Structure 1
Amino acid sequence: MGDRSMYLTNWNALASLDDEALPLLDAALLIARDEYPDLDTELYAAQVQAHADALRDEVAAIEPSALKMAAINRHLFVELGYSGNHDEYYDPRNSYLNQVLDRRLGNPISLALVQMEVARRLGIPLDGVSFPGHFLVRLPVDGGLLVMDPFNGGRPLAVEELRERARPHLGEPPDDKVLLQILSPAPNRAILVRVLRNLHGLYAEAGEWDRAARSIDRVLTLTPEQPDAVRDRGMAYLELGYLPGARQDLAHYLQLAPEAGDVDQVRERLIHASASRTVLH
Structure 2
Amino acid sequence: MDATGTLPGWDTLAALDDDALPLLDVALLIARDEYPDLDPRRYALRVQGHAAHLRGVVERESHPALKMRAINRYLFEEVGYAGNHDEYYDPRNSYLNEVFERRLGNPVSLALVQMAVAREVGLPLDGISFPGHFLVRLPVDDGVLVMDPFNRGRPLDVDELRERAQAHLGGRAPDDEVLSRILNPASNRAILVRVLRNLHAVYHGHGDWERATRSADRVLRLLPGDPEALRDRGAGYLQLGHVAGAREDLQRYLLLRPHAEDAASIRLRLVETGRAPARLH
Same fold by TM-score, threshold 0.5 exceeded? yes
Kept in 1, the 8 Å contact 2:119–2:125? The answer is yes
Alignment-derived partner of residue 191 in structure 1: 191
**Superposed displacement of residue 269, structure 1:** 1.1
Task: Report the Cα distance in structure 1 between the residues aligned to 2:129 and 2:3, rounded to whole angstroms.
Answer: 27
> CA contact under 8 A between 2:5 and 2:39: conserved in structure 1?
no
| Mapped contact 2:201–2:212 kept (Cα < 8 A) | yes
Corresponding position of 1:262: 262
Return the alpha-carbon distance in structure 2 between the equivalents of residues 177 and 13 of structure 1.
36
- What's the CA shift for 1:7? 6.5
**C-alpha offsets along residues 139-196 of structure 1, whole Å, 9 cap, x if unaligned?**
1101011000000000000110001101110121111111010000000000000000
Deviation at 1:18, TM superposition (A): 1.0
- Verify the 8 A CA contact 2:233 2:246 in the aligned structure 1: yes
Q: Give CA-to-partner distance per residue, 1:66-122, whole Å, 9 cap, x none.
A: 000000000000000000000000000000000000000000000001000100111
CA RMSD of aligned residues (A): 1.4
Identical positions, percent: 65
> Letter of the aligned partner of 2:213 in structure 1?
A
Counterpart residue type for residue 256 of structure 2: L
When the two structures are aligned, how many residues end up with a matched partner?
Answer: 280
Could you tell me how far apart the structure 2 residues matched to 1:241 and 1:5 are? 39
Kept in 1: contact 2:82–2:105 (CA 8 A): yes
Residue matched to 1:83: 82
Deviation at 1:280, TM superposition (A): 4.2
Which residue type is aligned with residue 249 of structure 2? Answer: D
Partner of residue 208, structure 2: 208
TM-score by length of 2: 0.97
5 Å matches for 1:238-277? Answer: 238-277=238-277
State how far apart, in whole Å, the 1-side matches of 2:8 and 2:272 are. Answer: 37
Q: Which residue of 2 aligns with 1:34?
A: 33
1:14 corresponding residue in structure 2? 13
SS of residue in 1 equivalent to 2:71:
helix
Aligned residue runs from structure 1 range 88-237, under 5 A = 88-170=87-169, 171-237=171-237
Q: 1:147 to 1:236 in 2, by over 3 A?
A: same
d(CA) in 1 for partners of 2:274, 2:3:
43
Instruction: Please give the secondary structure, in 1, of the residue aligned with 2:162.
Output: helix
Q: Distance in 2 between matches of 1:273 and 1:43?
A: 46
Amino acid at match of 1:60: E
| Structure 1: gaps of 5 or more residues | none
Q: Distance in 2 between matches of 1:81 and 1:150?
A: 12
* Partner Cα distance (1:214, 1:258) in 2: 25
Give the residue type in structure 2 aligned to 1:144. Answer: G
Unaligned runs of 5+ in 2: none
Asked whether the equivalents of residues 131 and 183 of structure 1 are also in contact (C-alpha less than 8 Å), the reply is yes
Partner Cα separation in structure 2 for residue 123 and residue 88 of structure 1? 33
Cα gap change, 1:4 to 1:19, in 2 (>3 Å) = farther
Q: Is this contact kept in 1: 2:7–2:29, CA < 8 A? A: yes
Contact 2:31 2:96 in 1 (8 A): yes
